[in-house]
Amino acid sequence: MAYDSNAEQNRQEKVTVSAPANPDTTKSGGGGGGFTFDKDKIDGIIKKWTDLQAELKRDYADANLMANVKAPGKEFASGDWEKLANPSGKAFLEQNQKMQDYVKNYIDQLTAAKQKIATNEAETQASLNKHKAV
């Protein structure tokens, strides 16, 4: 069987990354799905997820304010307003943190895939150089 460099190159042109685990579960690894994309687009994909992570961090600051609302006054209506507002803000804060964890895990997986691509390309190049030298 002859070595087909085109087949090897086509195989390496695509990258598949598993979706991170659902932050509501304790299992590790992929979340049952994933994405396949061209390897030359991985930097752009990492940037989009990093931008999303930055947005989530900004939202977290807002969520923190919502979760710690203080009653504007000492009367009955203000106290009720605070009791109703804080649980909603805390739920938003918790959900934001779970999403941040999900995004961080996915960025880690994308970065690992990028490093694997670089390693595979270096090994393939070394192998080709070795065969050319023979």
Residue with tokens 């943190």: 97
Q: What is the mean pLDDT of residues 67-75?
A: 81
Task: Give the pTM.
Answer: 0.67
What residue spans define the domains of the chain? 58-133
Percent of the chain with pLDDT over 70: 79
pLDDT bin (cut points 50, 70, 90) of residue 122 is confident
For 116, 118, 125, the CA distances from 130, given in Å and listed in that order, are 21, 18, 8
Residue-by-residue DSSP string for the chain: ----HHHHHHHHTEEEEEEEPPTTS---SEEEEEEEEEGGGHHHHHHHHHHHHHHHHHHHHHHHHHHT---SSSSHHHHHHHHHHHHHHHHHHHHHHHHHHHHHHHHHHHHHHHHHHHHHHHHHHHHHHHHHH-
pLDDT digits (tens, 9 = 90+) for 4-34: 555 555 455 677 777 776 666 544 444 567 7
Q: State the pLDDT confidence band at 3, using cuts at 50, 70 and 90.
A: very low
What is the pLDDT at residue 13?
Answer: 67
Q: Which residue has the higher pLDDT, 121 or 66?
A: 66
